[in-house]
Amino acid sequence: MIKKILLGIALSIACIAGLGFWVVSLMLPDDSVDLRTTTAADLAYFDRRVAEHRGKILAVVTSTAVMGDSGKRTGYELTELSRAYYVFTANGFTVDIASPLGGEPPVVIDDEDMGAFDYAFLNDPVAIEKVSDTKPVDGVNPDEYAGVYFVGGKGAMWDFPENTAIQNIVRQLHRDKKVVAAVCHGPAALVNVKLDNGKYLLEGKRVSGFTNDEELFLISDARTIFPFLLEDGLRNRGAKVEPGPSYLEQISHDGDLLTGQNPWSVWALAEATIEQLGYEPIPRKKTGDEYSTQILGTFEQQGYRKARAQLEFFMGNADTPVNHSLIAMHAVVAGMKMDVIKTLQLLLLASGAR
């Protein structure tokens, strides 16, 4: 009997270990292609770039390097700048980069999220020169720009909301019916903007931004670290917040105001910005992350079977492999929330994307 019990325990441990190895293998990215040396010239997207100069867009990044008194490092999110930068430039716009303090801002680079466009940015001498010596926002002339784009990064929660120069830029562009766009924590720039009539810009506006659920899942004590949670700040100014599923694409479009929920919303937000500026975005080959987020969005809204069918279609027709590791990461999130069925279904989707 004891031998049978010990054998049963050993088999159970082996199964658990095997499941763990399987999950880890699904989370590992495909390293068959080294993207670190990618340049803008390597992006086929740029072969179709617009030759005419259509104007200028101002991208604003945070100057904050530490989250309050927590000691946690922060900065602007590279992927939220680099991807929008190339969408804007490929579609005929010059991008200037500014920050509250000017000079070289702190940056957050997550190796797991890096793609071809992000490495191209790091290897682009023009882009690096701009982001290494950003313009101070108090020296920006809004008249020079067709629109402004506020890049995310948790540091924006500290130095965007109370910055009067940022408020003036937003107010003037809005007054002139130009585009105001922001992603992830970038909408923190909008919470204290008042219009000439004394009302808050956000009052009655449909907006997206990093949600409380997303924030608190990653940083459980965010309420004590941050000046405020972004979703709360948006709602307190009368905004009609439109939260999508956590860590998936979600944008809101209200006239000349465009906002995105998180880093996975950058592509859609940048191209919606081009459309709002009056142009049809040039065709772009979608990334594996975008296909994955579409599948995950279908899963959240229509269930496993529809998501599986979409996965199989993409596997046979998409021009870029589906990113299985991103789906697996969502499975881990579901597991941490103790949703067993959702976890298993997402793991099956991730396995099918290998």
Please check whether residues 47 and 92 belong to one and the same domain.
yes
Residue ending a domain, among 249, 276, 303, is 276
CATH code: domain of residue 189: 3.40.50.880
Contacts of 221 (CB under 8 A, 6+ apart): none
Tell whether 131 is covered by a domain. yes
Please check whether residues 91 and 120 belong to one and the same domain.
yes
Contacts of 117 (CB under 8 A, 6+ apart): 43, 82, 83, 86
Tell whether 20 is covered by a domain. no
Residue ending a domain, among 258, 276, 294, is 276
Please check whether residues 51 and 137 belong to one and the same domain.
yes
Domain of residue 346, residue span = 286-354
Give the residue-averaged pLDDT of 323-336: 92
pLDDT band at 263; cut points 50, 70, 90: very high
* Long-range CB pairs of 120-125, under 8 A, 24+ apart, other chains included: 120/38, 120/39, 120/40, 120/42, 120/43, 120/82, 120/86, 121/78, 121/81, 121/82, 121/85, 121/86, 122/78, 122/82, 123/37, 123/38, 123/39, 123/40, 124/39, 124/40
Please check whether residues 145 and 166 belong to one and the same domain.
yes
Please check whether residues 236 and 343 belong to one and the same domain.
no
As given in the structure block, the two tokens for residue 74 are 């922060």
pTM of the model: 0.92
Please check whether residues 195 and 104 belong to one and the same domain.
yes
Number of domains in the chain: 2
Please check whether residues 264 and 297 belong to one and the same domain.
no
The pLDDT > 90 percentage for the chain reads 85
CA-angle at 197, arms to 194 and 200, nearest 5°: 30
Q: Can you give the pLDDT at residue 323?
A: 93
Residue ending a domain, among 254, 276, 298, is 276
Please check whether residues 229 and 259 belong to one and the same domain.
yes
- Under DSSP, is residue 49 helix (H, G, I), strand (E, B) or coil? coil
Q: What is the tens place of the pLDDT at every residue in 21-65?
A: 445 455 556 555 689 999 999 999 988 999 999 999 999 999 999
Please check whether residues 171 and 98 belong to one and the same domain.
yes
